Amino acid sequence: MIPDLVSTVIPVFNRPLQLREAVESVLAQDYRPIEIVIVDDDSTDDTLAVARALAEQHSGIIHVATQANAGPGMAREHGRQLAQGEFIQYLDSDDILLPGKFSAQVAALRFNPDADVAYGITYFRDSDGTLVNEPHKDTGKNISTMFPAFLVSRWWETATPLYRSSVCDAAGPWTDLSLEEDWEYDCRIAATGGKLVWCPVPVSEHRDHSGGRLSRGTSLDQRRMRQRSRSHELILGHAFRAGLQGTPEMQRFARELFLLSRQCGAAGLPVESRQLFELSKQASGAKRGRGLDFGLYRIGTVLVGWKLMGRLSGWLDGLRN
């Protein structure tokens, strides 16, 4: 680990133009020293050539690694293993950092030695290029710890935080999940304590676009639902280790598990549906887990099966809405 160095890890797959913009936003930071680790996830276009050209132009700052296609989480982990900085910045190739991000967040971490992560305000730019000029999600709020809020939702984007590399080491490696892998990772960091310091300045821009995104899909996509099932199981484990049993956030997450159980059933995934159902009962607590809704739903699965019960539940939800 090199003191003061900020290492930016950029996973990329088939985004040559956006990669240039992401890299330029890092190079434009007024903070030094920095390094950029680009991990090409087996692109099939000229992305790798663009990455190598950038490395030639900025020798000693930009490093390029490659891997067989394994998704963003494994690409970030590959980059993390190569990163040498005291601080870690993850940056998706379709987002950008805003000027002054590193200066503000490094200074905040220096001034608050107990904090593990610094974050600031992220803005959202929609697919037609319009910038929404207000804080995206909850990045405009001063929140002191990652848990319990992160159990409800991932209330920032990948580019928002700056981590101490020590907390990333303590959390361990990224998983091979390709959906909700970032939420699971942050909940793992949250389970270590996850103390935050907020910088009330704009630090990044999250950009929507018409290109491919792994996060897009439907609840009937079996591959997608398997990924979500696994991520939620891991997140629940992190929350239990953090002692969040009985909190309002845990109760809300339990309801999400129940919904996801029904969706997995409707998608034709009975194993995942049953597992999530049991996890939802566990997260709800002993008394709530014996509730009438759980009992009736379980009887329904015995009578008609997990798939049909999931579809019937979705149909009823649609009628109520």
SS3 sequence of the chain: CEEEEEEEEEEECCCHHHHHHHHHHHHCCCCCCEEEEEEECCCCCCHHHHHHHHHHHCCCCEEEEECCCCCHHHHHHHHHHHCCEEEEEECCCCCEECCCHHHHHHHHHHHCCCCCEEEEEEEEECCCCCEECCCCCCCCCCCCECCCHHHHCCCCCCCCCEEEHHHHHHHCCCCCCCCCHHHHHHHHHHHCCCEEEEEEEEEEEEECCCCCCCCCCCCCCHHHHHHHHHHHHHHHHHHHHCCCCCCHHHHHHHHHHHHHHHHHHHCCCHHHHHHHHHHHHHHHCCCHHHCHHHHHHHHHHHHHCHHHHHHHHHHHHHHHC
Q: Give the residue from 165, 154, 2, 200 showing the smallest Cα distance to 89.
A: 165
Largest CA distance in the chain: 66
Q: Provide the pLDDT for residue 101.
A: 98
Asked if 160 and 172 touch (Cβ cutoff 8 Å), the reply is no
Q: Provide the pLDDT for residue 313.
A: 87
* Residue at 153: amino acid letter: S
Tell me the CA distances in angstroms from 17 to 58, 95, 152, one per residue in order: 17, 12, 34
CA 281 to chain centre: 25
pLDDT (tens, 9 = 90+) of the chain, 321 residues, equals 999 999 999 999 999 999 999 999 999 999 999 999 999 999 999 999 999 999 999 999 999 999 999 999 999 999 999 999 999 999 999 999 999 999 999 999 999 999 999 999 999 999 888 999 899 999 999 999 999 999 999 999 999 999 999 999 999 999 999 999 999 999 999 999 989 999 999 999 999 976 655 556 777 899 999 999 999 999 999 999 999 999 999 999 999 999 999 999 999 999 999 999 999 999 999 888 888 989 999 999 999 999 999 998 878 776 666
Angle, nearest 10°, between helix axes 222-241 and 248-266? Answer: 160
Q: Provide the pLDDT for residue 209.
A: 72
Q: Provide the pLDDT for residue 235.
A: 98
CA distance 274 to 213: 29
Q: Provide the pLDDT for residue 296.
A: 92
Q: Provide the pLDDT for residue 289.
A: 86
Q: Provide the pLDDT for residue 210.
A: 67
Q: Provide the pLDDT for residue 219.
A: 79
Asked if 254 and 283 touch (Cβ cutoff 8 Å), the reply is yes
Asked if 285 and 248 touch (Cβ cutoff 8 Å), the reply is no
Q: Where in the chain is the domain with CATH 3.90.550.10?
A: 2-207
At the fourth CATH level, which superfamily is domain 2-207? Spore Coat Polysaccharide Biosynthesis Protein SpsA; Chain A (3.90.550.10)
Query: Which residues on neighbouring strands pair with residue 88, listed in sequence order?
Result: 7, 163
Q: Provide the pLDDT for residue 237.
A: 97
Q: Provide the pLDDT for residue 227.
A: 96
**Model pTM?**
0.92
HSE toward the beta carbon, residue 260, CA cutoff 13 A = 25
Strands 96-97 and 196-207: antiparallel
Phi, psi of 12 (to 5 degrees): -150, 145
- In sequence order, the 6+-apart residues with CB closer than 8 A to the CB of 114 are 195
